[in-house]
Amino acid sequence: MEEVSSQLPADPISAVGVITSLNKAPDGYYVVAQTTDGFDADLWKDGLFKSKVKRYLCFAKKTGADVVVDVKLLDTKDALPEGFTPVDETLDTKETATRKRRLCVKISPRAAAVTAVYDIRIVAKSKYNLVDYTCIGEMNSVGIWYRMGEVSQHRASQETSSEAKRDAPDNTASWRTTTRPDHEPQSGGHYTMTALDDVPFAISEKFCENPKEMQQVNLMGITIKSLAEIEEEFHYNFTTERSIAV
């Protein structure tokens, strides 16, 4: 497993499963075929009797939206922890995956995960401890160990974001050609278009007549007065108020 692990991609594990044969692993899955000391990593074998039944642990490292953030090994009678999914069936034949003990995994969206499982190894019972690995328990005389690591957002999402930016229409040129000449972009370099941009504004000619002539117009008894006439008629100097305040 030392040699296999060194070739694994630097991504967290996205799925964990069990298969009945080393030749039946699904595409994209890595099989834990041997223990750390080079022996068969069969999870079903019995210490006293030989059995034709085989079970091997496997895992995938696909760059999808989900990652495995925790792994547990429970007794079959134990309650399933919240958020965990049991590996009950083999991936290749849909048979019972394990006996006596049940392997469970916790899946989380990659964007929400801070740490995740990056590697899983099978260690022969009573052997040395693996550095930076955590043992989740023993199954049929072998121990299952996993290594955690920090999750970094995969560069595929960054490339998708970059492509989206490249494909987005460049509105800078349209701003420069459609904005009104007397409105320069602000210091931020952007100008927001409005529905009134490029609409010419001018005072109607009918309002450009001599105000004195308009004074003679009487509409329903209302006389139009000039500003000077209004000021003269309604002027109030606030003398009384000032005297009180003093």
Which domains does the chain possess? 2-155 (2.100.10.50)
Alpha helices (H) in 109-184, listed in sequence order: 155-167, 172-178
pLDDT in tens, 21-53: 999 899 999 999 999 888 899 998 765 556 688
Separation between Cα atoms, residue 108 and residue 70, nearest integer Å = 9
Decide: 109 and 65 in contact? Cβ < 8 Å: yes
- Least reliable range by pLDDT among 13-17, 105-109, 132-136, 224-228: 224-228
More confident of the two residues 38 and 87:
87
Structure-block tokens of residue 181: 């000449």
Structure-block tokens of residue 27: 């595409």
Per-residue buried b or exposed e for 173-188, using 16+ beta carbons within 10 Å of the residue's own CB: eebeeebeeeeeeeee
Q: Residues with Cβ < 8 Å from 92, sequence gap 6 or more?
A: 19, 20, 21, 24, 25, 26
